[in-house]
Amino acid sequence: MHDTSIVARTSSAPITFISMATLDPSRVKESDFGPRRVYAVENMTSQRMRLLLGGFLGIALFIGTPLAVGQQVKKIDDKVLKTAGKGTEWTLNGMDWGEQRYSTMTQINPGNVSKLASAWSYELGPGGGNQQATPLYSNGILYTVTNWSIVAAVDAKTGKELWRYDPQADRTMTQPGKSRLCCGVNSRGVALYEGKVLVPVVDGRMQALDAATGKLLWSSWAIPEPKEGEVSSYSLTMAARVAKGKVFIGNAGAEFPPFRGYVSAFDVNTGKKLWKFYTTPGDPSKGFENKAMEAAAKTWVGEWWKMGGGGSMWDGMAYDPDENLLYVGTGNGTVWSADVRNGGRQATNPDNLYVASIIAINADTGQLKWHYQCTPGDQWDYDAIQHLLLADIRIDNRNRKVVMQANKNGYFYVIDRTNGEFISASEMSQVSWATGLDPKTGRPNVHPDALYSSKQGVTVYPVQMHNTSQMSFNPNTGLIYVPIAAENTFSFVAAEAYAPTPGSQNFGLNLAGARGGVPMASPPPHGPDRKNPDGSKVRGGILTAWDPATQKERWFALGGGQSGGGTLSLASNLVIQTLGNGRLKAFTADKGEQLLDIELPVSSGVGPPMTYMLDGKQYVAVMGGTGAQGRGGPGGGGRGGPAGGPGRGGPPAGAAPIEPTAAAAQGNFPPGPATVGNNNPKLLVYAVPN
């Protein structure tokens, strides 16, 4: 590409882009030259130029749109975030750093929640998949992100769009041969910090926008920078988190070997990468980045580094300011089959650290403080990426600082968050892959028949007890409210050998083996055997109210599931639940009495709920809808159609394939309401009428 200047005119001054070969490849720097803004961009390949310039072209859509009086951006810093859980704004992904999704507001309560009605809605765009982000709220403005990482700032009282930003994400990442999204075109959330909106772009860029205007401030790669002619395995689908002047993000892609996951910290003001921590060890001949990687390598065999090891991150993350620890949940190994991953059947199944683990990282240095591996040597897709929730609870007459997780593998875990000590775990769903857990260490006793090969398969419970549906904690009841799949199964047969398939998912499995005559084992399940009032077996999705101190279920209600939707807990003794199939419900938090069940104006793709107060009125907000999910070209999308993308309201570009265990788990849940006409993604806001 030759050096060029590109000028985009807005309602204010023109913007000039100048190619400069001397710049860092992942950075864009701005300088002012009178009325003209000049953005210097390196002399780069056409792909990288398109990705970076795409973000700036998106600026032309909204630069110069002023915020109304009373909607000026409020400074959000560590002092504000430390007490966020006690306020009436929603400035963090999980309401507070501990991700409790609990609000002290009581205006919406058991006495009036049945009157909850639509206040307004805002159409987010053409879509392209499920809505999984939690909107954030500060000083009269809602900030949210939809498919392809398109961000919007909306007047929280009226639903009027204030600005909109399209980063022009690489739409080829859903195309056959270039695919790198295992489970849909997902963006799970932005972060707010010091006048900025921090945006993880699905194609791998971490970006900062001016919260007042939506203008791009910086852009850095949070994955290995894609190279022209090569197929990347990496993406960003999790919500960003912020603290101490840093934005934290982990990358995903373990279904697309070779992949080696890592979590990064960037300076929120400059985009400079401050540290990164790998979740699996690399090639020993090249040395290890730190002692944690050296220790982890002892738990691997064969030439694992050629497939990368895996260890994706796409949901669970929390921060404890007192311990200064960042907690991250890691995903499956690459590939799923332990036999294939480790170069053949081993005498004992290697642990393969740090896959399927909860890890605690020093937020300043990026060094590992402790780890707890939920599923050592995972070969059943039992990621530990689910919602991580921090709380202080009393257990056995002791006050404990804990991190908790309802894991894919069927167990609910309570871990000491200061040192990683196992406190307790119990079956929350039917389990057959393990016969139980060691009461002191929590290490699972794997059923011998669960270790499958290419000659002997297995059908195990569960396939996914819990995935990305968001749970909440109410300190008044002491209960956690978790949408789960009560019971489900999946069959595994290992592939004979591993063959690379760039741009396509590769699990190291023979997916037709269970139907092709391979002998299958079926270890007996154990765990909660829930019954309906008529005595029939409970199947599909439920909402469970779980006591983490005693590891007992207090109550459950039908509806929901392991993915989509989520819960919000209120101090007024309410639990509000959104369901992926287009419903909103409310229950009393202590006893589970249903008080509300309404249809949303979307039939699928519903995300988790949040709440905020504006001008003395409490609101509940949620995103939902999918839009069309066809395949498309490399351009952006959203609202003006630059860079080859469709205009707002037009067909989206790209639907990602769904990996098999997620697809199997989705089959447990009923469809949404048939009355919905337009299922385009929407931001829906509800309140109790005056």
Q: Which pLDDT belongs to residue 672?
A: 62
Half-sphere exposure of 182 (CA within 13 A, CB side): 28
Q: Domain ends where: 27, 48, 70?
A: 70
27 and 88 in a single domain? The answer is no
249, 261 in Cβ contact below 8 A?
A: no
Confirm whether 490 is domain-assigned: yes
Q: Inform me whether the pLDDT recorded for 15 exceeds 50.
A: no
Mean pLDDT for 326-331 is 98
CB 139 within 8 A of CB 71: yes
Q: Enter the tokens of residue 569.
A: 């807990």
**DSSP label at 331?**
-
435's tokens: 């016969």
Residues 58 and 87 in one domain: no
| Model pLDDT, residue 676 | 57
pLDDT (tens digit per residue) in 129-145: 999 999 999 999 999 99
Dihedral, 281, 287, 289, 292 alpha carbons, nearest 10: 50
Residue 17 dihedral angles phi and psi, to the nearest 5°: -110, 130
pLDDT, position 643: 28
Average pLDDT over residues 473-496: 96
Within a domain: 62 = yes
Burial (0-12, 13-18, 19+ Cβ within 10 Å), 213: buried
pLDDT at residue 341 in the model: 95
681: three-class secondary structure by DSSP? coil
Could you give the CA distance from residue 28 to residue 15 in angstroms, rounded to a whole number? Answer: 14
Q: Are residues 200 and 53 in the same domain?
A: no
Mean pLDDT of all residues in 61-80: 67
**C-alpha–C-alpha distance, residues 204 and 26, integer Å:** 11
CATH number at residue 604: 2.140.10.10
Give 553-571 pLDDT, tens digit per residue.
Answer: 999 999 999 999 999 999 9
| Spatial separation of the C-alpha atoms in residues 432 and 452, rounded to whole Å | 13
Which range (44-58, 227-241, 523-537, 674-688) has the least confidence?
44-58
User: How many domains does the chain divide into?
Assistant: 2
Q: Is residue 172 part of a domain?
A: no
Encode pLDDT of 510-534 as tens digits. Answer: 999 888 899 999 999 999 999 999 9
**Within this chain, do residues 15 and 84 fall inside the same structural domain, yes or no?**
no
Q: Is 174 part of a structural domain of the chain? A: no
Residues 26 and 102 in one domain: no
pLDDT of residue 656: 66
Looking at the whole model, is its pTM more than 0.85? yes
Q: pLDDT tens digit string along 426-467?
A: 999 999 999 999 999 999 999 999 999 999 999 999 999 999
Per the DSSP assignment, residues forming a β-bridge with 547 are 552
Task: Give the pLDDT score at 283.
Answer: 97
Place of tokens 């406190």: 423
In angstroms, the CA 660 to CA 310 distance is 17
Q: Give the pLDDT confidence score for residue 363 in this predicted structure.
A: 98
What pLDDT, on a 0 to 100 scale, did the predictor assign at position 301?
96
Same domain, 149 and 30: no
What does the pLDDT read at residue 628? 75
Nearest to 202 by CA among 252, 247, 152: 252
Q: Are residues 61 and 199 in the same domain?
A: no
Catalytic residues: 381
From edge to edge, which strands make up the β-sheet containing 541-547? 472-474, 479-485, 541-547, 552-558
Statement: residue 47 has pLDDT above 50: no
Q: Tell whether 211 and 64 lie within a shared domain.
A: no
24 and 99 belong to one structural domain:
no
Q: Are 425 and 389 in contact (CB under 8 A)?
A: no
- Are both 89 and 60 inside the same structural domain? no
Domain limit, last residue, from 39, 70, 101: 70
Is 360 part of a structural domain of the chain?
A: yes
Any domain includes 617: yes
Are 9 and 121 contained in the same domain?
Answer: no
pLDDT, tens digit, 9 for 90 and up, residues 631-671? 333 333 333 322 223 333 333 445 566 788 877 776 555 66
Side chain identity at residue 285, one-letter code: S
Q: Using one digit for the tens of pLDDT, what is the confidence trace for 151-185?
A: 999 999 999 999 999 999 999 999 999 999 999 99
Q: Answer yes or no: do 564 and 451 share one domain.
A: yes
Mean of per-residue pLDDT scores for the chain: 87
Answer yes or no: is 395 within a domain.
yes
Q: Which domain holds residue 678?
A: 75-167+184-687
Q: What is the mean pLDDT of residues 274-303?
A: 97
Per-residue confidence (pLDDT) for residue 41, from 0 to 100: 35
> Does residue 48 surpass a pLDDT of 50?
no
Token pair of 345 as six digits = 């059947």
Q: Using the 3D structure, point to which of 55, 70, 85 is the last residue of a domain.
A: 70
pLDDT of residue 667: 58
Lowest-confidence pick of 99-103, 139-143, 501-505, 627-631: 627-631
- End-to-end CA separation in angstroms for the chain: 60
397 within some domain: yes
